[in-house]
Amino acid sequence: MKQERIRELEEQLPGIRRMRTICGWLSAHMLFQMICLFLELVTNENERIIGYSSTDDLVIRFFLYISPIFILVMILLCISEYQVKQITGELKNMYILLAFEKNGLQPLDYSAEGFSQGEITSLDLFRMGNRFSSCDKVSFVYHGMEITRGNVYIAREETKTRMVTDSDGNTKEETYTETTVYFNGTVYVFGKGYPHIAQVNVQTKGFQGSMRDGKAVRMDNVLFNKKMEVRAKDELDAFRLLKPQM
């Protein structure tokens, strides 16, 4: 079903892109013509280069010929641009969901917008700055467990000032923006019913997350314990989730 839809969209896309290109070229050409006519209107009749006998001829050509066609072309350009975005977006969704299926995963939903800031805040995993973005959120089922993953970027931007000295020895105050990245990667949420406070938190050692809830848990894998830090409200939850295969 998905492959048939992908073929259908791939067949539609080239024609719509050609329409967008043609409309773009026509709109640029007609805009140039409209500018030329406007310049003729504000130019003395004896100095006109197009050769119309009167101002009335120019006004008629502008309002009865070029202007309506230009508006029509712009409408077609906007429609074709919208259709290209819709088709490419749907194709991306289809490709992602199909890739999950080919890897033995059961995809449930895909959102290009990603997690909302409220969903990430409610997990109580990260320090939340003043810059947040997310994309490509996918929900799927793996061995009976529902998992949601998405790309997340969290940072804090601050405007600061500093004194700098130029090549002539003059000192002046300079404003600059300092960015501290708290997190830039993929977030996985295991189980249904999020947003909620995570029961098991896993992070690399030294990562500046919140990790306020739960107690430290040491796993069976010594190498894993050296690189990762685990906290859980219930130790059994950590051992159930973090199996050696993961």
Residues 17, 94: one domain? Answer: yes
Residue identified by tokens 């006519």 is: 37
Residues 69, 141: one domain? Answer: no
Residues 10, 88: one domain? Answer: yes
Domain count, the chain: 3
Residues 96, 14: one domain? Answer: yes
* Strand residue runs (E) in the chain: 106-111, 131-142, 145-165, 171-190, 200-204, 215-216, 228-232
Q: Is 154 helix (H, G, I), strand (E, B) or coil?
A: strand
pLDDT band at 34 (very low <50, low <70, confident <90, very high): confident
Residues 95, 6: one domain? Answer: yes
Q: Is 209 helix (H, G, I), strand (E, B) or coil?
A: strand
Residues 217, 164: one domain? Answer: no
- Residue 63 vs residues 32, 67, 71, 110, 172: alpha-carbon distances, Å: 15, 5, 11, 48, 57
pLDDT band at 198 (very low <50, low <70, confident <90, very high): very low
pLDDT at 60 over 70: no
Residues 110, 174: one domain? Answer: yes
Last residue of one domain, picked from the residues 102, 123, 143? 102
Residues 55, 93: one domain? Answer: yes
- What does the pLDDT read at residue 196? 44
Residues 10, 73: one domain? Answer: yes
Parent domain of 237: 199-246
- Taking the complete model, does pTM exceed 0.75, yes or no? no
Residues 83, 122: one domain? Answer: no
* Cα separation, 132 vs 154, whole angstroms: 5
pLDDT, tens digit (0-9, with 9 covering 90-100), for 127-185: 788 899 998 888 888 777 788 888 999 999 998 888 888 777 788 888 888 998 888 88
Residues 111, 83: one domain? Answer: no
